[in-house]
Amino acid sequence: MKAEVRERLLEAGYECAARWGLAKTTVEDVAREAGVSRATVYRYFPGGRDELISAVVAWEFARFFLRLYEAVADAESLEEVMERGLMFAHRAVVGHEVLQRILVTEPETLLPQMTIEADQTQTLVAAFLTPYLVRHGMTEGAELDAAADFLARMVLSYIGSPARWDLSDPDQVALLVRSELLAGIR
């Protein structure tokens, strides 16, 4: 039951952030959306609004990585993992209602995520890529860590600013993966 209430609070927090943005979402809004009292919200998130918002962001991040894993799980090559992953991430960012609202209404909240806290995201992406590098031809060791780090940094860079690449075009993504991303580790 506790897990269900916590999940409902996270979902409500997400819905409120999608509707009003992170800065305008309050504990009261989330409680109302979840159909619980403010006291219930504080029982699950004693740190209040800041803890709740952090938990919502972490929850959505975990959901993203689960969907990403599902998108690439049956890929037969590293190239296919990278291509599917880039295209999935691009679609996820472009179609993400909360992220798009924040970009319009409160872009200043993204700056810390993109700079100070970007190392955490890069580390998660590198850890995500590591098993695929091992499974699809890289050997374990220092080079594996360097390759995962390089690919994570490049992937995040292209997702944030694709420049001349159309990440919705499979042919362009395939060319990007082969000519720039994987060429940098092989």
Distance, in Å, from the CA atom of 44 to the CA atom of 105, rounded to the nearest integer, reads 28
pLDDT bin (cut points 50, 70, 90) of residue 140 is low
Residue of higher predicted confidence among 85 and 138: 85
Distance, in Å, from the CA atom of 83 to the CA atom of 72, rounded to the nearest integer, reads 9
Look at the pTM and tell me if it is higher than 0.85: no
Backbone angles phi, psi at 69, to 5 degrees: -55, -45
pLDDT tens readout for residues 101-130: 776 677 666 556 555 556 778 888 899 888
CATH topology of domain 1-56: Arc Repressor Mutant, subunit A (1.10.10)
Chain region(s) in the chain for CATH 1.10.10.60: 1-56
